[in-house]
Structure 1
Amino acid sequence: MKNTLLSVLLLLGIHSLCFSQAVYEDERYVPETDPLVLEKLSEWQDIKFGLLMHWGTYSQWGIVESWSLSPEEYGWCERKAGSNPGNYNAYKAEYEGLINTFNPTEFNPQKWAEAARNAGMKYVIFTTKHHDGFCMFDSKYTDYKITSPDCPFSSNAKSNIAKEIFSAFRDQGLWAGAYFSKPDWHVESYWDPKYPPRDRNVNYEPEANPEKWQEFIDFTHNQMLELVSDYGKIDIMWLDGGWVAKTPKNEITSWYDVQLKNSDNGYIKHRIVNQDIKIDEVVEKMREKQPGLIVVDRAVHGINQNYLTPENRVPEKELPYPWESCIISGGGWSHTKNAKYMSGREGVQMLVDIVAKGGNLLLNIAPTPEGEWQQGAYDLLSEYADWMAINSEGIYKSKTLAPYKENNICMTQQESGETYFFYMCEKEETDMPAVITVNSHQPAKGATVELLGYSKPLKWKKEGEGFRVMIPESILNKPPCDHVWTIKVSKLKD
């Protein structure tokens, strides 16, 4: 993932970089057939709200995760830190030397897990390894890891960070998901030191070097299997680096001749290389160890992308398959010094908007190099906690209700028949309106209309094909919650 200012993304609706293999909401989805995975996926669609964490040695510099190692001329790859950013080889050596100073002694995953649970989050996706190859788990297949003797944190009792995080979050009732980068810019079987890296891709031709490429396949499979074998119950394997994939022969052309859309630069060019890591084989092996495992092979069209992941954006409409918007909460994907976090209003309304369209929200929080969260992250989760304590019944297990959103009102429904109309407040709107009008639906005769967080039924009247709800004067300036007010209807008119 790339470091991008959330405020700009939300204001301009900027789309993230899309690779030629990328599958977004205007393209096909290949349904899973494994009944255990389908059951698990249905459960995942009910839990709605998760936490994503990008964390690694790069946090010490407060820079974008991994991407400054890629010799590509895009803003997110720019080298600004270190003592010699103008010299690529010197920069790479200094970047990889960050292992020698990474010592997050304030690491307390129990505190994070409690804050996430209180906010209503139901699953966590943690970066066990990003593209730079540094492992936040005790892999047997590399020394470039948090538990290496070269890393001062290796002597800490909590040095196997991924294991500690998964355990702490499971103890709070959350699902555990492992973010894992398929490309690895540290291992020599991907970026062979005999050649300079040319871009994000493998820096040699896999088909001309089958033994070396097989070495990389084995390395990647072994690390993925470690995560599903040695780290307890893993519910989701969330794979990044969609360019590492099998590419049909007719899509492999000459260097730098494939144009891809990018909203910042109009069009960019990108090399396409067949990087078949035999994903079907390793998925089968992982599911032998973790039956029902959800696999998200991001931006790779095929059966192993069990749900789709619009990045830093919310689709304009309901999508006809499982999906999750992964969104920065503040700063960038990785730690940003003095990060500005989204407001509680922005965060809560984003969750409601996504859920009303049938999706899940995966909210990213980036730990500091010391192993803490910034106060802004805790403040935001506290706003979620207050709101969800009153309104969560309209969120969890909910289904879509067309037209999903009407002006500033989102809507969901439960299989039992209750429907929920979420009034999204304006920025400075703290008092409730005396009347809330819904145009697209109408309560059935004898239905009960309520305001979540208020103990008495509300009066309502028909209004064309819709209805008007009268809000009692006694609570107009004392609403039960902030940001979004929820009208519940026991049964709609057929």
Structure 2
Amino acid sequence: MDLSRRVFVASAATLAVTAGLPALPATAADPDLSRIPVTPDDTPADLVRKASQVRPTARQSAWQALERTAFLHFGVNTFTGLEWGTGDEDPNVFQPTGIDTDQWARALRDGGFRLAILTVKHHDGFVLYPSRYTDHTVASSSWRDGHGDVLRSFADSMRRYGLKVGVYLSPADENQYLHGVYANGSARSARTIPTLVDGDSRSPSRFLTLDATDYGAHMLNTLYEVLTEYGPVDEVWFDGAQGHIPPDKVENYDWDSWYTLVRTLAPDASIAVTGPDVRWVGNEGGLAREDEWSVLPVKENQYGRTDWALSYDTADEGSRAALVTAQPKTDYLQWWPAECDVSIRDGWFYHADQQPKSVDDLTEIYFGSVGRNAVLLLNVPPDTDGLLHATDVVRLREFRERVDRELPADLTRGARRSVTPGGVTVDLGRELDVDRVRLAEDIRFGQQVESLVVEAYTAGAWSLVATAGTVGASRILRLTEPVRARRWRVRVTAARAGVRIAEFGLYRSSV
């Protein structure tokens, strides 16, 4: 959807159901309201009050506005047929002789995507650029006589076609385990980053001193290369995977130092999904919860890792009841929006015997993610030639065209609007059929809506058309049948604090 179409309406009115709650003041010591501490003495009313005051950072707001992002799983697994590599692959298996990253970028742009994340390093440890800190890289392959650099080509192409750049570096590293670095039991100690090596021609303007294990320092140096030599990075994606290693071997990841390095070198980049900015939705099917909250109870684990106070797969992560249930384990209430990851094919890496999902399936995923206050992360894996398969390219275009038909021109554009406490009324000027309703809060003021109704004025009275719980940055409701009416309204029936409606759009789909 073209975001330039979106109409913004603000209401400063506070609903009666929350009028008795005092505002939580920001203090000079803690001006960042993306997380607010929770104490054991907080009452249920305190928890709701605090949740109502949590606000996204600028980087989080920008990330939520992306709506559709892409993943590109590509590496030695593409050529070995594995989903999880072993770390001892011969780099010569990596031979994408027809690689065309401009083709990737065009296909993603034409599919309606705004950011793409490349698997710079998957669990096997093979790196898609010539790193100074490992030989398990493209430089050890005969592809392009050892001078290939997929990350360079990827980053240049994405920017050339107007997409933002994301990088995924797996914390797990089978190759570094084989070399005695990963999970070697080393203690954390102060490390100088970047760590210069023999023949290093760099002259950094500053060095950072960060605590890390041997492997943590390896990751810091790798991150430093990626974040300083390939242009602006908009998202850094981690997961929490451990290697396929003996159960008595564990690498305790240096999350605090990794986060600090990213914040220092790429301050505008969102850190996902094992990160403080973006969370995993809890499944790999691309679907958010029916009521998805961006404000969650969280705790800190393992050197500053942001973690769920409740389980990652809890059906209710942020309601009033969830806040109370989570309180004994909660350190903060935090703005931590959901990312819904799913692959266009069954696997994350390309396999010739797999086919892409249907347009209907992708459309359901769209409404189940973007339509439920989350961002869609769709994986589209390049094939062994280094291209997005022609079938996938067609499917991406068909997917975008289908979404455009589901949500064509907003019928409220130019319509008369009136804002009332807890609601917005729209007069379309004439009776029109509507079967899609799009809503959004102005999340600069937090996520407040707990329930609402959408009504149409028909036969001389207001009639119920649809109900919903949460809204957040994006909520899309599909009506089972078109409703014909001139006047429409949304009424918020429960909220945590004052509601600002940023969008109340009406559509007639053409599918």
Flag whether TM exceeds 0.5 (same fold).
yes
Kindly provide the CA deviation profile for residues 59-88 of structure 1, in whole angstroms up to 9, marking residues without a partner as x. Answer: 11222132xx3xxxxxxxxxxxxxxxxxxx
Residues 485 and 347 (structure 1), Cα distance of their counterparts in 2 relative to 1, 3 Å cut = farther
Map 1:220-231 to 2 at 5 A: 220-231=219-230
Please state how far the C-alpha of 1:271 moved relative to its aligned partner.
Answer: 6.0
Asked if the contact 2:121/2:127 (under 8 Å) is kept, the reply is yes
Please state how far the C-alpha of 1:113 moved relative to its aligned partner.
Answer: 0.8
Amino acid at match of 1:102: F
Kindly provide the CA deviation profile for residues 134-172 of structure 1, in whole angstroms up to 9, marking residues without a partner as x. Answer: 0012212112111x1x31223387x21112112211222
The farther-off stretch of 316-325 and 341-350 is: 316-325
Are 2:36 and 1:44 aligned? no
Aligned to 2:376: 361
Aligned to 1:412: 438
Asked if the contact 1:32/1:306 (under 8 Å) is kept, the reply is no
Amino acid at match of 2:73: H
Aligned to 2:292: 319
Aligned to 2:401: 386
Kindly provide the CA deviation profile for residues 188-213 of structure 1, in whole angstroms up to 9, marking residues without a partner as x. Answer: xx44559xxxxxxx5543459999x7
Residues 114 and 464 (structure 1), Cα distance of their counterparts in 2 relative to 1, 3 Å cut = same
Asked if the contact 1:128/1:135 (under 8 Å) is kept, the reply is yes
Amino acid at match of 1:214: T
Three-state SS of the structure 2 residue aligned to 1:163 is: helix
Task: Provide the C-alpha distance between the structure 2 equivalents of 1:215 and 1:312, rounded to a whole number of angstroms.
Answer: 32
Please state how far the C-alpha of 1:328 moved relative to its aligned partner.
Answer: 1.3
Are 2:40 and 1:63 aligned? no
Residues 392 and 57 (structure 1), Cα distance of their counterparts in 2 relative to 1, 3 Å cut = farther
Asked if the contact 1:135/1:144 (under 8 Å) is kept, the reply is yes
Residues 220 and 492 (structure 1), Cα distance of their counterparts in 2 relative to 1, 3 Å cut = same
Residues 178 and 209 (structure 1), Cα distance of their counterparts in 2 relative to 1, 3 Å cut = closer
Task: Provide the C-alpha distance between the structure 1 equivalents of 2:190 and 2:97, rounded to a whole number of angstroms.
Answer: 43
| Aligned match for 2:116, one of 95, 117, 124 | 124
Please state how far the C-alpha of 1:305 moved relative to its aligned partner.
Answer: 5.0
Aligned-residue CA RMSD (Å): 3.9
Residues 354 and 297 (structure 1), Cα distance of their counterparts in 2 relative to 1, 3 Å cut = closer
TM-score, length of structure 2 as denominator length: 0.57
Asked if the contact 1:356/1:411 (under 8 Å) is kept, the reply is no
Task: Provide the C-alpha distance between the structure 2 equivalents of 1:343 and 1:463, rounded to a whole number of angstroms.
Answer: 41
Aligned to 2:214: 215
| Aligned match for 1:442, one of 432, 455, 461 | 455
Amino acid at match of 2:358: S
Amino acid at match of 2:489: L
Are 2:101 and 1:101 aligned? no
Three-state SS of the structure 2 residue aligned to 1:218 is: helix
Please state how far the C-alpha of 1:52 moved relative to its aligned partner.
Answer: 0.5
Kindly provide the CA deviation profile for residues 237-290 of structure 1, in whole angstroms up to 9, marking residues without a partner as x. Answer: 00123449xxxxxxxxxx99xxxxxxxxxxxxx66846142x222322322222
Task: Provide the C-alpha distance between the structure 2 equivalents of 1:141 and 1:392, rounded to a whole number of angstroms.
Answer: 50
Are 2:261 and 1:285 aligned? yes
Are 2:367 and 1:352 aligned? yes
| Aligned match for 1:492, one of 485, 489, 492 | 489
5+ residue gaps in structure 1?
1-29, 70-91, 195-201, 245-254, 257-269, 395-400, 403-408, 417-438, 446-459, 469-483
Residues 276 and 103 (structure 1), Cα distance of their counterparts in 2 relative to 1, 3 Å cut = closer
Asked if the contact 2:239/2:273 (under 8 Å) is kept, the reply is yes
Asked if the contact 1:328/1:364 (under 8 Å) is kept, the reply is yes
Aligned to 2:280: 308
5+ residue gaps in structure 2?
1-32, 37-53, 192-211, 295-336, 411-421, 424-434, 443-451, 467-479, 492-511
Amino acid at match of 1:308: W
Asked if the contact 1:442/1:465 (under 8 Å) is kept, the reply is yes
Aligned to 1:168: 157
Kindly provide the CA deviation profile for residues 66-111 of structure 1, in whole angstroms up to 9, marking residues without a partner as x. Answer: 2xx3xxxxxxxxxxxxxxxxxxxxxx65xx11x1132212111111
TM-score, length of structure 1 as denominator length: 0.59
Asked if the contact 1:137/1:160 (under 8 Å) is kept, the reply is yes
Three-state SS of the structure 1 residue aligned to 2:174 is: coil
Number of aligned residue pairs: give it: 333
| Aligned match for 1:155, one of 123, 145, 149 | 145
Residues 43 and 462 (structure 1), Cα distance of their counterparts in 2 relative to 1, 3 Å cut = farther
Amino acid at match of 2:280: L
Aligned to 1:180: 169
Are 2:185 and 1:205 aligned? yes
Please state how far the C-alpha of 1:491 moved relative to its aligned partner.
Answer: 4.7
Asked if the contact 1:54/1:334 (under 8 Å) is kept, the reply is yes
Task: Provide the C-alpha distance between the structure 2 equivalents of 1:462 and 1:155, rounded to a whole number of angstroms.
Answer: 76
Aligned to 1:260: none
Amino acid at match of 2:185: E
Please state how far the C-alpha of 1:371 moved relative to its aligned partner.
Answer: 0.6
Task: Provide the C-alpha distance between the structure 2 equivalents of 1:161 and 1:341, rounded to a whole number of angstroms.
Answer: 24
